Homo-oligomer: A and B are copies of this chain.
Amino acid sequence: MLVNGRRVAQVRADDRGLAYGDGLFETVRVRDGTAPLWRRHMARLAAGCARLALPPPDIALIEAECMAVADGLTDAVVKIVLTRGVGGRGYAPPQDARPTRVVSAHALPVPYTRTAAGGIAVRWCDWRLSAQPALAGIKHLNRLDQVLARAEWCDPAIAEGLLRDQRGLVVCATAGNVFAAIDGALCTPELTQSGVAGVCRATIIAERLAGDVVVVRDMLPAELERADEVFVCNSVRGVVPVSSLGARTWRAPGARTRAAIDALAQLGLPSESSP
């Protein structure tokens, strides 16, 4: 772990990241010294800095630190935390903020449990995401929504939970985005009120990994439940097919999901399979 470039494992207790969640993070898959979705991670980090009025990130420095912590690892997750740095008591951001960087390497997570149908089982979370258009999309450190949604279950047979917003519209999974093939079109929810705009999601949309243009739109839970196929994705696990949601089951992966998995692997990011 590197904290502002030094091999220590602590931050100051008066850091604004701890005090207020005043910062951003990224979790980046690094394989043999390369991060396949690096540019999109850094684009989102820069967009987050702009939204929080933090100085633009020093991308070359962050990249060097990511490669340093992942050195010798064949496949790892590198987490980058960037905060507004230390600051006195009080919400007012210091004029001369000196951000804190924490860069750490981690093993890949244990793969999700799969069902006999080949995908994962997911559930609806009762927790509804906060509505905040001014923070939607960026990966900031205010993540109580995700923590408390993920705390709803501990059955390891349930791999993920799907989240709705205050209006009841589908947004995402607790740690990933969601796509559904509905009436022949691959769709994913708008993230204008809530949710994180994942880099894997962005890649699937921008590079048409699943074939056709993705329709980004409001999505009702009932629409997702009657979809022909559903998958979740994030930049660590890749694309993961869903094979059950409550009483609804799917044979997985469907054709769109298979296409996205294959195209993402071509970009250097193999999706996880069964444990």
Considering the complex, which residues of chain A in the window 100-150 have a beta carbon less than 8 Å from any beta carbon of chain B? 102, 104, 106, 109, 127-128, 130-135, 140-150
B-binding segment of A59-67, A88-96, A205-213, A215-223: A88-96
CB of A97, distance to nearest CB on chain B (Å):
10
Copy total for this chain: 2
Closest to A146 in B: B91
Closest to A144 in B: B142
A144 B92 Cβ-Cβ under 8 A: no
Partner of A21, one of B79, B95, B131, B141: B141
How far does the alpha carbon of A9 sit from the alpha carbon of B131 in the complex, in Å? 35
A32 interfacial contact with B, CB 8 Å: no
A47 interfacial contact with B, CB 8 Å: no
How far does the alpha carbon of A11 sit from the alpha carbon of B89 in the complex, in Å? 17
Partner of A93, one of B83, B142, B147: B147
A13 B1 Cβ-Cβ under 8 A: yes
B89 A143 Cβ-Cβ under 8 A: no
B11 A143 Cβ-Cβ under 8 A: no
How far does the alpha carbon of A217 sit from the alpha carbon of B93 in the complex, in Å? 31
A26 interfacial contact with B, CB 8 Å: no
Partner of A147, one of B1, B20, B127: B20
Binary B-proximity of A48-84 (CB < 8 A = 1, otherwise 0): 0000110000000000000000000000010101011
